[in-house]
Chain A
Amino acid sequence: MNNLFILLLLPVASAILLAFAKSSSMAKWLALVLSLVQVVLTIPFLCTFVPDASIQFEQSFDWISSLNIRFHVGLDGISLPLVLLTNGLFPLIILSTFTKDYRHSFYALASFMQAGLLLVFTALDAFTFYVGWEAALIPIYFICALWGDGDRIKVNLKFFIYTFFGSLLMLIAILYLGQQTPNKDFEWTSFVALDLSDYAQRWLFWAFFVAFAIKIPVFPFHTWQPDTYTNAPTAGTMLLAGIMLKMGTYGVIRWLIPVIPFGTSAYGSVALVLCIIGIVYASLIAFKQKDTKRLIAYSSIAHVGLITAGIFAWNQEGLQGAIMQMVNHGISVVGIFLVLDLIKSRTGTNRLDELGGLAYKMPVLATLFVILMMGAVGLPLTNGFIGEFLLLKSLYSVGIWYAAFAGLTLIFGAVYMLRLFQKTMLGALDSKYVKVTDASKTEVFVLVILCLFVVLLGVLPNGLLKLSEASVTQLIQSVKF
Chain B
Amino acid sequence: MGAIITLSLLGILVLYLGLYKAKSLLLPVSLLGLVAALGFEIVAWNNGTAPIYNGMVLFDNFALAFSAVCIVITGLVLLLSKEYFSAISKNVAEYYCLILFSLTGALMVCAYHNFAMLFIGIEVMSVALYILVGIRKTDFASNEAALKYFLMGAFSTGFLLFGITLLYGATGTFDITGVKNYLVSNPTAVSPLFYGGILLLLVGLLFKVGAAPFHFWTPDVYDGAPILITTYMSTVVKVASFAGFIKLFSYVFSPLQDFWTPILLVVIVITLFLGNITALMQTSFKRMLAYSSISHAGYMLFAIISLGANANSSILTYGLAYSLASVAAFAGLILVKRNHGSDQFVAFDGLGKTNPLLALVITVAMLSLAGIPLTAGFIGKFMLFRSAMADYHIILLILAVVNAAIGIYYYLRVVVRMYFYPSNTGDDKLAVPISFNVVLIITLLLTVLIGVYPNCLISLL
Chain A residues with CB under 8 Å of chain B are: 62-67, 127, 130-131, 134-135, 138, 142, 145-146, 152-153, 157, 160-161, 164-165, 168-169, 171-172, 175-176, 178-179
Interface residue tally for chain B (C-beta within 8 Å):
33
Complex CA distance for A134 and B367, rounded to whole angstroms: 11
A178 touches B394 (CB 8 A): no
Q: Which residues of A contact B386 (CB under 8 A)?
A: 67, 175, 178-179
> Given A66-B313, A172-B401, A176-B389, do A161 and B409 touch, yes or no (CB 8 Å)?
yes
B189 within 8 A of A: no
B267 within 8 A of A: no
Q: Which of B372, B378, B386, B416 has the most CB of A within 10 A?
A: B386
Give per-residue flags for B386-419: 1 if the beta carbon is below 8 A from chain A beta carbons, else 0: 1001101010011001101100110010001001
What would be 20 A-B contacts, judged by CB atoms less than 8 Å apart? A64-B379, A67-B310, A67-B383, A135-B374, A142-B419, A145-B416, A146-B419, A152-B420, A153-B416, A157-B416, A161-B405, A161-B409, A168-B401, A169-B398, A172-B398, A172-B401, A175-B389, A178-B389, A179-B390, A179-B392
Complex CA distance for A218 and B410, rounded to whole angstroms: 27
Instruction: Tell me how far the C-beta of A305 lies from the nearest C-beta in chain B, rounded to whole angstroms.
Output: 25
B196 within 8 A of A: no
List CB contacts (< 8 Å) of B369-384 with chain A: 372-374, 378-379, 382-383
Instruction: Tell me how far the C-beta of B305 lies from the nearest C-beta in chain A, rounded to whole angstroms.
Output: 15
Complex CA distance for A142 and B420, rounded to whole angstroms: 9
A134 touches B416 (CB 8 A): no
B405 touches A145 (CB 8 A): no
Instruction: Tell me how far the C-beta of B125 lies from the nearest C-beta in chain A, rounded to whole angstroms.
Output: 30
Q: Which residues of B contact A160 (CB under 8 A)?
A: 408, 412
A67 touches B401 (CB 8 A): no
Instruction: Tell me how far the C-beta of A11 lies from the nearest C-beta in chain B, rounded to whole angstroms.
Output: 14
Complex CA distance for A64 and B458, rounded to whole angstroms: 8
A62 touches B385 (CB 8 A): no
B459 within 8 A of A: yes
A134 touches B405 (CB 8 A): no
Complex CA distance for A176 and B420, rounded to whole angstroms: 38
B455 within 8 A of A: yes
Instruction: Tell me how far the C-beta of B302 lies from the nearest C-beta in chain A, rounded to whole angstroms.
Output: 12
Interface contact tally, CB-CB below 8 A: 79
Complex CA distance for A157 and B458, rounded to whole angstroms: 33
B454 within 8 A of A: yes
A64 touches B409 (CB 8 A): no
Complex CA distance for A176 and B409, rounded to whole angstroms: 26
B394 touches A172 (CB 8 A): yes
A138 touches B455 (CB 8 A): no
The one of B310, B373, B420 that contacts A66, using a Cβ cutoff of 8 Å: B310
A145 touches B455 (CB 8 A): no
By secondary structure, the A interface counts as: helix
A-B pairs, top 6 by smallest CB distance, nearest first, are: A168-B401, A165-B405, A134-B373, A175-B389, A131-B373, A172-B397
Instruction: Tell me how far the C-beta of A106 lies from the nearest C-beta in chain B, rounded to whole angstroms.
Output: 13
The one of B374, B408, B412, B455 that contacts A64, using a Cβ cutoff of 8 Å: B455
Q: Which residues of B contact A168 (CB under 8 A)?
A: 401, 404-405
Output the nearest chain B residue to A127 by Cβ-Cβ distance. Answer: B382
Output the nearest chain B residue to A105 by Cβ-Cβ distance. Answer: B356
B373 touches A130 (CB 8 A): yes
Q: Which residues of B contact A179 (CB under 8 A)?
A: 386, 389-390, 392
Give per-residue flags for B56-74: 1 if the beta carbon is below 8 A from chain A beta carbons, else 0: 0000000000000000000
Complex CA distance for A179 and B454, rounded to whole angstroms: 20
Instruction: Tell me how far the C-beta of B299 lies from the nearest C-beta in chain A, rounded to whole angstroms.
Output: 13
Instruction: Tell me how far the C-beta of A74 lies from the nearest C-beta in chain B, rounded to whole angstroms.
Output: 20
Q: Which residues of A contact B389 (CB under 8 A)?
A: 172, 175-176, 178-179
B383 touches A138 (CB 8 A): no
Output the nearest chain B residue to A132 by Cβ-Cβ distance. Answer: B373
Complex CA distance for A127 and B386, rounded to whole angstroms: 12
Q: Which residues of B contact A145 (CB under 8 A)?
A: 416, 419-420
Q: Which residues of B contact A161 (CB under 8 A)?
A: 405, 408-409
Q: Which residues of B contact A134 (CB under 8 A)?
A: 372-374, 378
B373 touches A135 (CB 8 A): yes
> Given A66-B313, A67-B386, do A165 and B401 touch, yes or no (CB 8 Å)?
yes
A66 touches B458 (CB 8 A): yes
Instruction: Tell me how far the C-beta of B394 lies from the nearest C-beta in chain A, rounded to whole angstroms.
Output: 7
B397 touches A175 (CB 8 A): yes
B458 touches A67 (CB 8 A): yes
Complex CA distance for A168 and B392, rounded to whole angstroms: 16
Instruction: Tell me how far the C-beta of A19 lies from the nearest C-beta in chain B, rounded to whole angstroms.
Output: 9
Complex CA distance for A130 and B373, rounded to whole angstroms: 8
Complex CA distance for A466 and B412, rounded to whole angstroms: 45
Instruction: Tell me how far the C-beta of B408 lies from the nearest C-beta in chain A, rounded to whole angstroms.
Output: 5
Output the nearest chain A residue to B419 by Cβ-Cβ distance. Answer: A146
Instruction: Tell me how far the C-beta of B10 lies from the nearest C-beta in chain A, rounded to whole angstroms.
Output: 35
Complex CA distance for A161 and B405, rounded to whole angstroms: 6
Complex CA distance for A152 and B383, rounded to whole angstroms: 34
B458 touches A169 (CB 8 A): no
Output the nearest chain B residue to A134 by Cβ-Cβ distance. Answer: B373
Complex CA distance for A83 and B282, rounded to whole angstroms: 44
Output the nearest chain A residue to B379 by Cβ-Cβ distance. Answer: A64
> Given A157-B409, A175-B386, do A65 and B459 touch, yes or no (CB 8 Å)?
yes
Q: Which residues of A contact B390 (CB under 8 A)?
A: 179
Q: Which residues of B contact A157 (CB under 8 A)?
A: 409, 412, 416
> Given A146-B420, A176-B394, do A62 and B401 touch, yes or no (CB 8 Å)?
no
